[in-house]
Chain A
């Protein structure tokens, strides 16, 4: 546990520094109108954090992202378990699931606007649509992937009903559930900014639009970078949660 905790702490900064080096090198060959070097971006980042505009915007953005993500997770996990456990339901919904999943959610924005409006509800709907399927498919696969022998053993121990789910199905499927939650939260962060760009521009999306309208590439990159960092933080939080809930999943790499 000790080693694996310290390793990312040592390696992540090394990785970030190396990555910034590559970025700086790229900035030397890319046209200035399109690509800002990390030094300029970090400068803008400091200024935008200093005057409070960036934290305020991030706080606003997090609202629809969290609501959309929680709704998606709360719906996708039980639905995934139910569908995954029942061959009949799975057979019936699978074609529709695959069909709808292929549509780019952005292409649905015009319809979401009509159904949910241009503001908060519309943004929440897009976040939901952009992370629901990723969570669902992982949960579904996790439940289906449970070894038949394990379930037979559980049945021979007279585990039925909710107890079967609590003691066998959910623990056995949990690595997949966590993968889904992690992939899902990454998608939700992506959706957060997408929603602000495609619906009425607010918060970080507004900042992104304003800076890009002014052809201020450093500020544009600064906002994108903050969103990416926030996405990284969210995913790391999910990894931490996973480590606490299913420790063996983590220890295998140590």
Chain B
């Protein structure tokens, strides 16, 4: 299902992630499939993102993962830093760009703005506020578009 991967990177170029203007660097994603490895190179130049499909030898960081985990991170379902801590993917090169991965990916689905939580004045805890869950929660993860 590398269509989903294509769709993600197309969306990334259009949406631009959440990069800061002062960030530059290159990250290559090596996505492992049973029969091949697909390479995607994300270049960040002063916050501007471009994507190339294919090998790029001189990059700052290489991320090795499979498509499933990649997409779960891309959709905001798995936090890149904890996945890295678990060794669910590995990184060579500059760790700085591992920390910045989150800026490329969609926000976690179902998260609350702190104001929404505070608005539940009568509840003492956030957990009570969340009952029942929000109506939008279910569908947000499926379309693959960052934001």
Bind each other: no
